[in-house]
Every structure is written in C-alpha cells, then in structure tokens.
Amino acid sequence: MEFKAVAGWRRSVRFFEPWREVEREKIQAIMEAVHRAPRVLEVDFVRTVVVYRDQLKDHELTAMKMPTTTAQVDMAPVYVFFYADLEALPRAATGDNFRELMARGVLNRSHGWTESFLEEQVLPYLRGIIDHPDRITMRTRTPDGDIEGPSVSRAHLSLARSAIGIAQEHALLAAFDEGLGAQLSALNTNIANGILGVPNTWTTSSPMLLGYHGESRETGGQRPREPFEEDFFEMRYGHPFYREPAVVDRLTAAEMIQPTAPLPWRKDELRALARKFGLPD
C-alpha cells in the first residue's frame, strides 16, 4: 500500500475476526519494520513479545483485561507487547554502537564525529542521563504487594518510553500495510509480564492487538481530532501552519484524508456487528 493510504486507513480497530489467524509472515513483516525504527541515542532499547491468544489460558486472558480493553481482547488473535530494556542504555554508554556507525560512514567527521568527541562529549552525556539524581524505582504490582525493581532516572525512562512509542507506530503502520487491522490498547501489563516472564528491567506501554478487521475497513470513518490550526504552527506558537486547500485535495485523492466518523451507516453496522459477535448492542 502507498504510505499516504496506510496513514489514512490506519484506525483503532476494535472488532476483529476472532476465528482468523494472522499469517506468521505478516507478523514477521511487522517485526522487521519495528527493527528498522529510528534508535534514540543509538540505544537498542526495543524488545517485543508476540502472543497468540489461543495459546493463553482462559484465566490469563481474563486477568489481562482492563476497563478500556474488553471485547477486543477476546476477538484479536494476536497481541504484540512492546518493551524497552533499561539495561540497553548502559550498554550504549560504552560507545560501541556509535563507533560502529562511525566505521560504517554513518556518523562522520563532517558532523563532528571523532573518537575524542565521542569520549569527551557524547558518552558523558549518556552517563549523565543514567546517573541523573531525579530517579524513580521501577515497581511491579502483584496481588501480594509491590515488588521493587531497579532505580532509574526519569530522563532514562523517558528515553525508553519514546523508543517504545516509535516502535508502536512503526508496528501499527506495518500492520495496516499488510492488510491487517490493529489497535494499541491497555492490557494489565503486570499480569502480562508475569505470564511472559520478562525481566524487571524492561519497561512497557500499551500492546498492539492485531488481526483481520471484523468491522469494515472504514470503521465508521476517520476519528475526530482538534482543528488542524489549533495544533500545528509555523515559526511561533499562535501562528497556525497554513493549511493549503489544494494539498488537502491531493491527500484526499491519495486516501490519507478521509471522511470523519460517523459515516451515515455506522449505527446500522454497529447493530449488525453486535448481533454477529454476540456483543451488547
């Protein structure tokens, strides 16, 4: 699919065909896209765990549900959990990833990249993030109380979480490009982490539910946003980025910009979906 159409057709899909498995090759294509996401400070933060719903026990599935993620957990056949390994930053602080990029002609003298620049400026900057005194203790909530994990600086955690966000977005776009539907959705990650056995040095965010659309690709239309002019600026805050109508027309033709929800038939679709999947109407 062309990029603009992928961006336009991506929606949070909340109805999946529960019976239709996702081909492993499509899941791999999504992981390959995540593998190519940009790397903040050359840190290899990102980890994913792919989970097949039907290989979980019923009680595990039930325990993972959250108030904002209910029926879609039962419907989506695959969940992709995203993590950032907090131990990746100390590893990057050895400078080896930077040295590799210098050797491969990616980071060059033209931009100031030399061994002394690395040793005297970049690596101390990384160490400063790791050692910053504004720290929090990682905690895992269990039925028997909280288990304390490592202490990390807020700046470290914020970098790690930004890496997860970029991974999530690459995964979402790749999923739609593969003709699948997907949604980032909260699951009880404390429960999930226990089931998946991930180390307590991995931090996480919302997993991606993945499957074939159980609702139409339109999903009732693109979801509303604040007016463009309220959020995008040129040169200074308060000076809206001028939205050229001809560009809007071009992006509409390319399917990036599509009608906003609700399409006229959405209520009928929702009634039919509720009947089809045995859900409340």
**What residues line the site for ligand FMN (CB under 6 A)?**
11-12, 68-69, 183-186, 205-206, 223
Complex with ligand FMN: residue 12 or 200, whichever CB lies closer: 12
Tokens representing 123?
Answer: 């690596």
How near is the Cβ of 79 to ligand FMN at its closest, in Å? 12
* Complete DSSP assignment for 198-245: --TTEEE---EEEE-BSS-TTTTSBPP-S-HHHH-BSSSTTSBPP--H
Residue 95 CB contacts under 8 Å (≥ 6 apart), including other chains: 118, 119, 122, 123
Helix (H) or strand (E) holding 50: strand 46-52
How near is the Cβ of 80 to ligand FMN at its closest, in Å? 13
Complex with ligand FMN: residue 77 or 207, whichever CB lies closer: 207
Residue 262 per-residue DSSP state: P
Complex with ligand FMN: residue 18 or 221, whichever CB lies closer: 221
Complex with ligand FMN: residue 68 or 158, whichever CB lies closer: 68
Complex with ligand FMN: residue 117 or 258, whichever CB lies closer: 258
Complex with ligand FMN: residue 87 or 218, whichever CB lies closer: 218
How near is the Cβ of 57 to ligand FMN at its closest, in Å? 22
How near is the Cβ of 187 to ligand FMN at its closest, in Å? 8
* Complete DSSP assignment for 60-85: HHHHH-BTTBSHHHHH-SEEEEEEEE
How near is the Cβ of 106 to ligand FMN at its closest, in Å? 30
Rounded CA-CA distance 152/142 in Å is 20
Complex with ligand FMN: residue 12 or 190, whichever CB lies closer: 12
How near is the Cβ of 257 to ligand FMN at its closest, in Å? 13
How near is the Cβ of 212 to ligand FMN at its closest, in Å? 17
Residue 266 burial (C-beta neighbours within 10 Å; 0-12, 13-18, 19+): middle
Rounded CA-CA distance 170/263 in Å is 28
Rounded CA-CA distance 267/141 in Å is 40
Rounded CA-CA distance 22/16 in Å is 11
